[in-house]
A and B are shown apart, each in its own frame.
Chain A
Amino acid sequence: MSDLHRKSLRELREGLAAGSFTSVELVEHFLARIREHDQTLNTLITVSDKEALQQAGAADERIQKGEAGPLTGIPLIHKDIFCTRGVKTSCGSRMLDNFISPYDATVVERLADAGMVMLGKANMDEFAMGSSNETSYYGPVKNPWDTERVPGGSSGGSAAAVAARLAPAATGTDTGGSIRQPAALCGITGLKPSYGRVSRWGMIAFASSLDQAGPMARSAEDCALLLSAMAGFDERDSTCVDRPVDDYLAALERPVKGLRVGVVKEFFGEGLDSGVGASIEEAMKVLEGLGVELVEVSLPHSRYSVPAYYVVAPAEASSNLARYDGVRFGHRCDDPKDLEDLYKRSRAEGFGAEVKRRIMIGTYALSAGYYDAYYLKAQKVRQVIARDFRNAFEQADLLLGPASPEVAFRLGEKSDDPVSMYLSDIYTIAVNLAGLPALSMPAPRAHGLPVGLQLIGNYFDEGRLLNLAHQLQLATDWHLQTPEGFA
């Protein structure tokens, strides 16, 4: 078997340009790997092999004509939260098991315009609600590092597929950590951009004020290439910011000596696995070796981020998911007696337990008499948390901490304990509440499993995040390690 799956995006581009292999060969190679491994891993809900080969053929033509961009002909996987025209878009839910989207999400459209080839749609927690990928209607995704363990969530299919080299890149979405936590648990690099950097058009909404799409790949450099194609203003999304996109590739090469990186005090306290803590500290030593100045910073209100998040996100979700009523698309129960029966049974059958739990929490939080105490209070907490970050960024250019308090946990270990599951995102959620960009990248493994180092940037400072991550990756090989059996 060839080693095409070991190549970085830059190497793939060079190979395609040089004619060493074609996009069709590349796609066939990855499709073969998917056939070989995905029975076990379950990273994909849909494999769109026919479409992929067609797109690859078109990409090869573009390459031959000399019209190729940096991503033309390179395959990727889209999280099944992105609408893809003519291809099932399930969002990991029975509710949308029959939904073929009539249109493409902006992210899908932009990456397709760049010439990327979609291999399929990645498994995910139902409606992106989960931290282990166990809430998917299509069954859990297995972590390629240990198939008894979860890949994290909700972008678990994307993370596991990239980690297992079933695709060189994937898209994910991050509402409370859904890119960074699975990236951490699967040992890949994943970036959640600033809120408003990437269009949400066509991305099925979970919590609209928090959701953001981002790239998931093996390295910061690969993420920089992907983000360059994904980011930018889109008039179809009113929350998308009309502001030029930085040159992320150029940013990668900037010197990092003298950069001040704030170590978030609160992210190293109780609840952090000691192995994970040691791994992060090892990464910090390497950073110091690169001339980075580490300073301690505090986010004193970060402990309120999980409770605030579990008011705001379910509240928005309870409203966003009201459209799944069995009337126009999606699951409809058999033989409804009347309108109420149609609503009740379609939704009872179409949604899983975690989604129902969050709809209930959100509906409660918005109810008359509770709105001020919950939703309004949670929004105020967001302001306070954002202020904490503003203060921290006065002392540091970037912030640092673990992405997750522990390594990948066992399947079923937390499924019956929602609160312990929610705490998996304790270090990632504050970033979403403030709307900041952040990434997770591999640090040295602990307990034989991947650990994610989280870097948090100031608003629209994705370039600097990728810069430091890239420089760290040039100096280490943590990101190049591959799970056994998938090398």
Chain B
Amino acid sequence: MAWETVIGLEIHVQLTTKSKIFSGASTRFGAEPNTQACLVDLGFPGVLPVLNEGAVRRAVLFGTAIEAEIARRSVFARKNYFYPDLPKGYQISQYELPIVGRGHVEILLENGERKRIGVTRAHLEEDAGKSLHEDFHGYTGIDLNRAGTPLLEIVSEPDLRSAKEAVAYAKKIHQIVTYLGICDGNMQEGSFRMDANVSVRPVGRKEFGTRTELKNLNSFRFLERAIDFEVERQIDVLESGGQVVQETRLYDAQKDETRSMRTKEEANDYRYFPDPDLLPLVIEDAFIEETVKGMPELPEARRRRFEEEYGLSAYDAEVLTATRPQADYYEAVVAVAGDAKLAANWMMVELFGALNKAGLSLEVSPVSAEALGGLVKRIADDTISGKIAKTVFEEMWRSGRAADEIIEEKGLRQITDSSAIEAIVDEVLAENAQQVENYRNADPKKQPKMLGFFVGQVMKKSQGKANPRQVNELLRNKLG
């Protein structure tokens, strides 16, 4: 039987506010355990939450970016359950009335088509602390630094049909939130966490199959592998006459498998109810306008602009706008270099190649955007050839110096003075009389190939500095 996969994602995005969603404690990552938890985060008797406006603004930016309705009135609710890293015994979240309503994003499929994926909702909530099970000999350590960190939970429609689509969607959401600057996108530190709801059904059937929820997917690679594993497992179960059990499953990256965490029967009754400590969140039009005014350009718009303004191919525009730092870097190169296409080539081939080889990210590139722009500018204005530029680039990478400085110091400036080039050409022809003879007697079809020899000699004599275009032209004339 042929099976169809149905996937929906829930993505928890940690927002970039300096302080927590309901308290003034810092959200900085990596501090000593329990040094960034104030009385509110610790759930002390008598404390009360106060909503962080910055978190609301970030949710509004996201909602606007995915063309969703921003709820003029949303409500914070308590999700009640006992766990040691949940100090109050409830999590403040949004349940029936979330701040961001239905929206959508577009993903690029492997076949080059674009597909619209629905976003059901996005809501604000507080994160829990961390339970540390190692190093405590029979006890569990609790670190409440993370408790109260603002999260935006983004819930997709079950519109995804493969692990690859799920990854493309997750990357798109990652791209949007990092472009907006509402999330640092750091997956190692848990700033972007994914859960996947996965089910399968026979192709052609309308009803969804029973789903399982996969937890603990902290990289795009694990997301893809966990879904692939789970789809195969569900198909195996169904094909051998079994039934999929609705449950939460944990992905184990080491074993590359998912295993049952708890079934529906074991699930908590969260007893949601509106949090009486917080008034309904009422958002005025003016607040939205003010928030959206400073909204950065979104990836889609930037991609289209790169195609139109810089004349880039769809592929180049897609690659260069993949992340905001990348697109910013590119535009800084163009601003100095002038030649947009040449800048794109140099960035994507030479710079990305070097970064890849060194295992570095763009943010820590030894060659700044301004420096690369300076180099590309010298290729564009014929100061140096592309070939020489590669040498200059290597030197820039090593020393961090500017292209012009290296060109001057090493005398790499291209010879464009035609009389100077002519003198070298004449010298070469005189030194290679036999080859000149052979060339002139040769079949005209073979001549272009033979010309290469003379070009090589001239370039060698000029230490690579002669303008290749001029050399070619002069040689062709003189060899006639």
Q: Do A and B come from one complex?
A: yes
Residues of A within 8 A of B (CB): 82-83, 89, 91, 96, 99, 101-103, 105, 200-205, 207-209, 235-239, 315-316, 318-319, 321-323, 325, 327-329, 339, 343, 363, 366-368, 371, 375
Interface segment, one of B216-224, B245-253, B275-283, B296-304: B275-283
The answer on a CB contact under 8 Å between B276 and A327 is no
Given contact pairs A238-B277, A319-B271, a sample of 10 additional A-B residue pairs in the complex whose CB atoms are under 8 Å apart: A83-B45, A89-B45, A89-B46, A103-B44, A208-B276, A236-B48, A322-B88, A329-B45, A367-B269, A375-B273
Q: Does B287 contact A (CB under 8 A)?
A: no
CB distance from B268 to the nearest CB of A (A): 10
Q: A323-B89, A367-B269, A371-B273 are contacts. A238–B39 as well, Cβ < 8 Å?
A: no
The answer on a CB contact under 8 Å between A105 and B46 is yes
* Inter-chain contacts of A201 with B (CB < 8 A): 46-48
Q: Does B352 contact A (CB under 8 A)?
A: no
Assembly CA distance A203 to B47 (angstroms): 8
* Inter-chain contacts of B50 with A (CB < 8 A): 235-238
The answer on a CB contact under 8 Å between B80 and A322 is yes
The answer on a CB contact under 8 Å between A203 and B46 is yes
* Inter-chain contacts of B47 with A (CB < 8 A): 201-202
* Inter-chain contacts of A339 with B (CB < 8 A): 84, 140
CB distance from B404 to the nearest CB of A (A): 56
The answer on a CB contact under 8 Å between B45 and A91 is yes
* Inter-chain contacts of A89 with B (CB < 8 A): 45-46
Assembly CA distance A235 to B48 (angstroms): 10
Q: Does B424 contact A (CB under 8 A)?
A: no
* Inter-chain contacts of B142 with A (CB < 8 A): 327
The answer on a CB contact under 8 Å between B45 and A96 is yes
Assembly CA distance A360 to B46 (angstroms): 22
Assembly CA distance A443 to B42 (angstroms): 46
B271-328 contacts to A, CB under 8 A, are 271-273, 276-279
Q: A316-B276, A363-B271 are contacts. A238–B49 as well, Cβ < 8 Å?
A: yes
A366's partner among B39, B88, B89, B273 (CB-CB below 8 A) is: B273
Assembly CA distance A339 to B140 (angstroms): 9
Assembly CA distance A208 to B76 (angstroms): 14
* Inter-chain contacts of A322 with B (CB < 8 A): 80, 82, 88-90
Q: A238-B50, A319-B271, A327-B142 are contacts. A102–B44 as well, Cβ < 8 Å?
A: yes
* Inter-chain contacts of B276 with A (CB < 8 A): 207-209, 239, 316
State the majority secondary structure of interface residues on A.
loop
Assembly CA distance A368 to B264 (angstroms): 14
A343's partner among B78, B80, B82 (CB-CB below 8 A) is: B82
The answer on a CB contact under 8 Å between B43 and A328 is yes
A328's partner among B42, B82, B269 (CB-CB below 8 A) is: B42
The answer on a CB contact under 8 Å between A366 and B271 is yes
Q: Does B51 contact A (CB under 8 A)?
A: yes
Q: Does B87 contact A (CB under 8 A)?
A: yes
B79-108 contacts to A, CB under 8 A, are 80, 82, 84, 87-90
Assembly CA distance A318 to B272 (angstroms): 12
B269's partner among A91, A99, A316, A368 (CB-CB below 8 A) is: A368
* Inter-chain contacts of A318 with B (CB < 8 A): 80, 271
Residue of A nearest to B51 (CB): A238
Q: A103-B39, A208-B277, A319-B271 are contacts. A366–B80 as well, Cβ < 8 Å?
A: yes
A327's partner among B46, B84, B269, B272 (CB-CB below 8 A) is: B84
* Inter-chain contacts of B46 with A (CB < 8 A): 82-83, 89, 101, 105, 200-205
Assembly CA distance A205 to B47 (angstroms): 9
CB distance from B85 to the nearest CB of A (A): 9
The answer on a CB contact under 8 Å between B48 and A238 is yes
Assembly CA distance A200 to B84 (angstroms): 26
CB distance from B129 to the nearest CB of A (A): 11
Assembly CA distance A400 to B84 (angstroms): 48
* Inter-chain contacts of B277 with A (CB < 8 A): 205, 208, 238-239
Interface flags for B105-122 (1: CB within 8 Å of A; 0: not) read 000000000000000000
Residue of A nearest to B131 (CB): A339
* Inter-chain contacts of A366 with B (CB < 8 A): 80, 271-273
B229-246 contacts to A, CB under 8 A, are none
Assembly CA distance A322 to B88 (angstroms): 6
* Inter-chain contacts of A237 with B (CB < 8 A): 48, 50
CB distance from A176 to the nearest CB of B (A): 15
* Inter-chain contacts of A103 with B (CB < 8 A): 39, 44
Give me 9 A-to-B residue pairs in the complex whose CB atoms sit less than 8 angstroms apart, sorted by A's number. A101-B45, A200-B48, A238-B51, A239-B48, A315-B273, A319-B271, A322-B80, A328-B43, A368-B271
Interface flags for B44-78 (1: CB within 8 Å of A; 0: not) read 11111111000000000000000000000000001
Assembly CA distance A146 to B352 (angstroms): 89
Assembly CA distance A235 to B43 (angstroms): 18
Residue of B nearest to A208 (CB): B276
B273's partner among A202, A319, A323, A343 (CB-CB below 8 A) is: A319
Residue of A nearest to B269 (CB): A368
* Inter-chain contacts of B140 with A (CB < 8 A): 339
List 4 tightest A-B contacts by C-beta distance, closest first.
A322-B89, A209-B276, A366-B271, A208-B276
From B47, B48, B90, B140, residue with most partner A Cβ within 10 Å: B48
The answer on a CB contact under 8 Å between A323 and B279 is no
B45's partner among A319, A323, A368 (CB-CB below 8 A) is: A323
B43's partner among A202, A323, A371 (CB-CB below 8 A) is: A323
The answer on a CB contact under 8 Å between B271 and A367 is yes
CB distance from A220 to the nearest CB of B (A): 28
Residue of B nearest to A103 (CB): B39
Assembly CA distance A364 to B188 (angstroms): 41
CB distance from A432 to the nearest CB of B (A): 12
A325's partner among B39, B82, B278 (CB-CB below 8 A) is: B82
Assembly CA distance A205 to B278 (angstroms): 13
* Inter-chain contacts of A83 with B (CB < 8 A): 45-46
Interface flags for B138-158 (1: CB within 8 Å of A; 0: not) read 001010000000000000000
Assembly CA distance A3 to B376 (angstroms): 95
Assembly CA distance A343 to B48 (angstroms): 23
Assembly CA distance A202 to B45 (angstroms): 7
Residue of B nearest to A237 (CB): B48
* Inter-chain contacts of B48 with A (CB < 8 A): 200-201, 236-239
Residue of A nearest to B76 (CB): A238
Assembly CA distance A366 to B80 (angstroms): 10
The answer on a CB contact under 8 Å between B90 and A319 is yes
The answer on a CB contact under 8 Å between B44 and A319 is no
Assembly CA distance A367 to B44 (angstroms): 25
Residue of A nearest to B42 (CB): A328
CB distance from A100 to the nearest CB of B (A): 11
* Inter-chain contacts of B269 with A (CB < 8 A): 367-368
CB distance from B376 to the nearest CB of A (A): 54
* Inter-chain contacts of B78 with A (CB < 8 A): 319
CB distance from A198 to the nearest CB of B (A): 13
The answer on a CB contact under 8 Å between B278 and A319 is no
Residue of A nearest to B278 (CB): A238
* Inter-chain contacts of B88 with A (CB < 8 A): 322-323
* Inter-chain contacts of A325 with B (CB < 8 A): 82, 84, 89
* Inter-chain contacts of B272 with A (CB < 8 A): 366, 371
Assembly CA distance A202 to B47 (angstroms): 6
CB distance from A309 to the nearest CB of B (A): 14
The answer on a CB contact under 8 Å between B45 and A99 is yes
Residue of A nearest to B80 (CB): A319
Assembly CA distance A105 to B49 (angstroms): 14
CB distance from A368 to the nearest CB of B (A): 5
CB distance from B224 to the nearest CB of A (A): 34
* Inter-chain contacts of A96 with B (CB < 8 A): 45
